[in-house]
Amino acid sequence: MLIVEWAPVSKTELIPPFGDALIDHIGQYRNPTVKYTSCSAWGLLYRMMKQNGLEGGTVVFEKNGKPRFADDRFFFSISHSRDVCAAAIADVPVGVDVEVCRANYNARLVERSLTVAEKALFDGDFTRFWCRKEAVAKMTGRGITGYPSDIDTVADGICYEEKKLEYQGAFFWLVSARESTN
């Protein structure tokens, strides 16, 4: 099972009934925009669960900050960028990232971020590669620590679903990564 969806960010502070740890987590945000986008992503996850007959649960945060349900019924990931949010649900570890597309990136950042194998495949769309890295970082729970080139997005054992979105005149990459079930 893999379900990936995106939605526009809404200006609401409704927090789904996933427990006190989530309420505390969202309560730490002082910036209202960040609070709205986070609530929207969690709300999208909640709606996806309801639509697919999945029961809610209590969210806990691991030491590295990765959220999960306390009973580990299934895996999930959320993301947000500007005016959109995304969520993924799967029966294997999953990560999702959504990012607004940018045309220009610092060449040094691109050089330091990509592995040798990624550089061989690089088509100039750094946003797509960055989304892959973020999705893998969320899937593993490692986050992006150290150099982004430590995350190899062309390694075996990872399946990606990628979609380019357009919303309100802006383009976004939506990428999910999950363990291969070969």
DSSP string, 98-136: EEE--S---HHHHHHHS-HHHHHH--S-HHHHHHHHHHH
Beta bridge partners of 87: 5, 78
pTM above 0.95, yes or no: no
- Work out how many domains the chain is built from and give that number: 1
Q: Say yes or no to pLDDT of 13 above 80.
A: no
Give the mean pLDDT of 91-102: 93
Between these two residues, 181 and 107, which has the higher pLDDT value? Answer: 107
Nearest to 72 by CA among 48, 54, 97: 54
| Enclosing domain of residue 137 | 2-179
Q: How many residues does the chain have?
A: 182
Q: What pLDDT, on the 0 to 100 scale, is given for residue 162? A: 95
Element (H, E) at 85: strand 84-90
Between 38-42, 52-56, 97-101, 154-158, the lowest mean confidence (pLDDT) is in 154-158
Q: Please tell me the predicted confidence (pLDDT) of residue 146.
A: 61
